[in-house]
Amino acid sequence: MRADLEIISDWIRPRSRILDLGCGDGTLLAHLRGQRECSGYGLEIDEDNVTRCVEAGLSVVQSDLDEGLAKFFPSATACFDYAVMTQTLQAIREPQKLIDEMLTIAREGIVTFPNMAYWKNRIQLGVMGRMPVTRSLPNHWYNTPNIHLCTVGDFERLCDDLDIEILQRTVVDAHHRTTVLGSAFPNVFGEVALYRLQRKQ
């Protein structure tokens, strides 16, 4: 399993109720079900992924995250322990709204995204003058699904603006390993950022 999913699953308490936004082929949900006795639902837009989730015996609802969570959970408050969204935030039309919805529907949110301020991205953009193409940002500007790229610094400012408390943060490299430099200077040496959040009490 992807190492970032490994880290996330360590963050999640056993027997939790999970909503996985953009659950892909259901790897994380299946892992959490098997290793941590968690239950819950995946939301996924791609039909091949929906099929794989169903084949794996997971509960998956085909839906477009840009339509928000209220379409399928109109009056749900804190009915999940965690709302998880891995590597999807940057492709969402209104990320700040979705994060807010996540923290309404679940007690805690877990979000991961590629850090635009990673030093290799800075070099490609700042020195070479090109939009970065890296392992964690593999697409060119013209065919990328990413429309809202942000940095570790940007994200934390948004959390502050939305009265969201950061419970845990880890940054990793493209192989999803934590590094000493990344821990010291996450906005420069973190290629992918992982956050555990809750609304300020």
Interacting residue with another protein among 6, 10, 55, 163 (CB under 8 A): 55
Question: Interface with another protein includes 35 (CB under 8 A)?
Answer: no
User: What would the two tokens of residue 187 be?
Assistant: 């906005």
Task: Give the pairing type, strands 106-114 and 164-172.
Answer: unpaired
Structure token digits, residue 78: 């804190």
In this structure, what are the phi and psi dihedrals at residue 70, rounded to the nearest 5 degrees? -65, -25
Residue 82 within binding range of another protein, rule CB under 8 A = no
51 counts as binding another protein under rule CB under 8 A: yes
Nearer to another protein, 33 or 148 (CB): 33
- Identify residue 93 by its one-letter amino acid code: R
Residues 6+ away with beta carbon under 8 Å from 48: none
Interaction of residue 41 with another protein, rule CB under 8 A: yes
Residue placing its CB nearer to another protein in the complex, 40 or 190: 40
**From residue 58 to residue 77, what is the string marking binding to another protein with x (rule CB under 8 A)?**
xxxxxx-------xxxxxx-
Which of 1, 6, 37, 54 forms a contact with another protein (CB under 8 A)? Answer: 54
- Where residue 54 falls (left for φ over 0; alpha for ψ -120 to 50; beta otherwise) is alpha
7 belongs to the binding site for another protein (CB under 8 A): no
CB of 74 vs another protein, minimal distance in Å? 7
Q: How far is the C-alpha of 32 from the C-alpha of 99, rounded, in Å? A: 22
Nearer to another protein, 63 or 136 (CB): 63
Cα separation, 178 vs 191, in Å, equals: 10
**Residue 88 is a binding residue for another protein (CB under 8 A):** no
Six token digits for residue 81? 């322990």
Contact between 33 and another protein per CB under 8 A: no
Residues in contact with another protein by the rule CB under 8 A: 41, 47, 50-55, 57-63, 71-76, 79
